[in-house]
Amino acid sequence: MGLLSRFSAYPSDLIGLLSFATAAIACAVAARRSAVRDPHTWYFLALMNCLFVMEIYFGSRYLITVLTKTVLAKEQLYGKLHGRFQEIIIVAVVVIVLGLSLFVWRIVGTGARVAAILTIAVMVLFAVETISLHSIDAIFYRPIGGVLLLGWVWAGAALGIVVSSCWR
């Protein structure tokens, strides 16, 4: 499947790629303009947004999900671990993210703080999508105007990162 045909089939991916590429550029610009304590944070956020672009392009979260399901089914563990175990993993991820958010809240300036928390939230979205609870997938993959809800959430998070990179 060619690059253009892929994006015409999956416009949510195109929105994610463009959104996070823009956010990465905004973070890199903010790093060059930021106060003494924040440039490293902004460069790290630029790197993370580049990684989001790569993840959306290559779709490794889907490969991880398929591989995990295959291994668990082969070991006859899929029925036992599906559902409740996934919910426990999601709760653990959310607790870890809250801890990271509190840590970030204390060490960086306001704009970088908001961008970092949004970046952490996007990481959680990718983790939850990888874990693949069917009820959550039904929400993420609901089309709104030809684009999946997840694509709009990505765009909103990236917009928040871009706006926070302009914060002074």
Q: What is the pTM of this model?
A: 0.82
Query: Could you give the number of structural domains in the chain?
Result: 1
Non-local (6+) Cβ contacts of 8 within 8 A are none
Q: What does the pLDDT read at residue 5? A: 56
Q: What does the pLDDT read at residue 145? A: 93
Tell me how far apart the alpha carbons of residues 123 and 116 are, in angstroms, rounded to a whole number.
Answer: 10
Q: Phi/psi of residue 148, each to 5°? A: -65, 150
Tell me how far apart the alpha carbons of residues 94 and 96 are, in angstroms, rounded to a whole number.
Answer: 5
Domain hosting residue 117, numbered range: 3-165
Tell me how far apart the alpha carbons of residues 50 and 31 are, in angstroms, rounded to a whole number.
Answer: 15
Q: What does the pLDDT read at residue 2? A: 58
Tell me how far apart the alpha carbons of residues 149 and 155 are, in angstroms, rounded to a whole number.
Answer: 10
Q: What does the pLDDT read at residue 8? A: 59
Q: What does the pLDDT read at residue 19? A: 98
Burial 84-101, CB ≥16 within 10 A → b, else e: eebeebbeebeeebeebe
**CA angle at residue 33 from 107 to 103, to 5 degrees?**
10
Q: What does the pLDDT read at residue 142? A: 95
pLDDT tens for the chain, 168 residues long, are: 555 555 656 899 999 999 999 999 999 999 999 877 789 889 999 999 999 999 999 998 888 878 877 887 777 776 666 667 777 777 887 888 788 777 777 767 788 889 998 998 999 899 888 887 677 888 999 999 999 999 999 999 999 999 999 985
